[in-house]
Amino acid sequence: MTERLDLADPELLTFEADVVAARSLEGRPAVVLDRTAFYPEGGGQPADHGLLGGVPVLDVQEVDGEVLHVLGGAAPAGRVRGEVDAARRRDHVQQHHGQHLLSAAFEARAGARTVSFHLGVETCTIDLDRPPGALPPETLRMVEAAANDLVFRDLPVVARELSASELATLPLRKEPAKGSRVVVVGPLAPGEDFPRREAIVDASPCGGTHPRRTGTVGAIAILRAQKWASGTRVEFVCGGRVVAALAEANRRLAAASEAFRCAPAELPQVAAKAAEEGAARRKELEKLLGALAVVEAERLAVAAGPGPVVAVVTSPAPGAAAFVRGVAQALTARGKAGYLAAVEDGRAYLCFGRPKDAPGAHMGQRLQAAVAALGGKGGGAPDLAQGSGTTTADLQAVLARAAEGP
């Protein structure tokens, strides 16, 4: 069984070990060591990367009780030197322990328990058992401030295996699922190496890597919260990722400010005004397109004579789907059936319609057959149907066949 150096000392990044077995995992070479400082993926925390005997360590997994170091080259043998990627380890420690502090703050300040945790490449998430309505923005900011207070107080962190009697005395945030290793946060009295019960800020079973003090987390920032099943998913970042997120937010803010030609502080008001003006323009455009569709329908109806209208219409871009539907509806209002299409960006948009109360073909069925011939999908009611196809070849012929019926 491999001795887990990473659990005893999360700051240990280099070590010597003996290769005790060669394995493979999903077609890649892997080795088992007698001791390791590499953390294997688990508990929501990704695996460490680094070097082993100069060979890249691409993944670390615990399989059937063995810690497999998955390699990007030929497996070394004998005595080897392991080097854990320091930046990756630090990032994972910051995110994982930051999650502990954030979950503790959510439970203490909002009565929201953490159901699951995911440490992603750019951001992290926790899933809470309370709905978004119970966690308004002001509550999120309050919880964020409480979690950061734990960081800024630079409290001691103790992570170790505990006996059953010791576990029974702790105010655990959740029951142990595997093992008896617990991460405890709280001030230490002089001469003591474990916080007293009344001083414990958080106690949670965990097999991940954690710092010796909460200050290592640096900072915690809640980015957003959204509905997740019956609860809430909270996206957040910690430590160095907070700095990266702030830099990216500033870059986007600067780009938006440049586009609107305003100062960053003026952006909310300028953007709101632009959105209002855009909505007004869209409404006016819809009216104009509607009027144009009526004119086009009148022209087509006259040209078609007593029969149905079968035509590929020229549509303003963008908006072929909406325009061809508008023409079809205008035709049916005049008592005419229409088999229409328009082309936009190499795609065919079809709409078939007939007067609602008049007998006639099932337009939904006929349209389905037509768009299938064009490599697309669509359908609808007996009197009005719409769809699109990925090709415009023989479009007029496809419409003609649809008008003729089976």
90-247 adopts what CATH topology? Threonyl-tRNA Synthetase; Chain A, domain 2 (3.30.980)
Mean per-residue pLDDT for 84-95? 97
Mean per-residue pLDDT for 352-363? 89
Residue 98, φ and ψ in degrees, nearest 5: -60, -35
Best CATH choice for the domain 3-84 from the list 2.40.128.260, 2.40.30.130, 3.40.1710.10, 3.40.50.2000: 2.40.30.130
Looking from the CA of 329 toward its CB, the CA atoms found within 13 Å total 12
| Token pair in block for residue 298 | 């009148």
Confidence tier at 258 by pLDDT (50, 70, 90): very high
Structural domain spans, the chain: 3-84, 90-247, 281-404
* pLDDT attached to residue 319: 85
* pLDDT attached to residue 48: 97
| Token pair in block for residue 349 | 């948009």
Q: How far is CA 158 from CA 96, 179, 204, 211, in A?
A: 14, 16, 11, 9
Res 368 pLDDT > 70: yes
Cα gap 309→379, rounded to integer Å: 19
User: Can you tell me whether residue 364 is helix, strand or coil?
Assistant: helix
Domains 3-84 and 281-404 share a fold: no
**Does domain 281-404 fall into CATH 3.30.70.1520?**
no
Mean per-residue pLDDT for 266-283? 93
Confidence tier at 357 by pLDDT (50, 70, 90): confident
Residue 292, φ and ψ in degrees, nearest 5: -65, -40
Mean per-residue pLDDT for 12-16? 97
* pLDDT attached to residue 406: 67
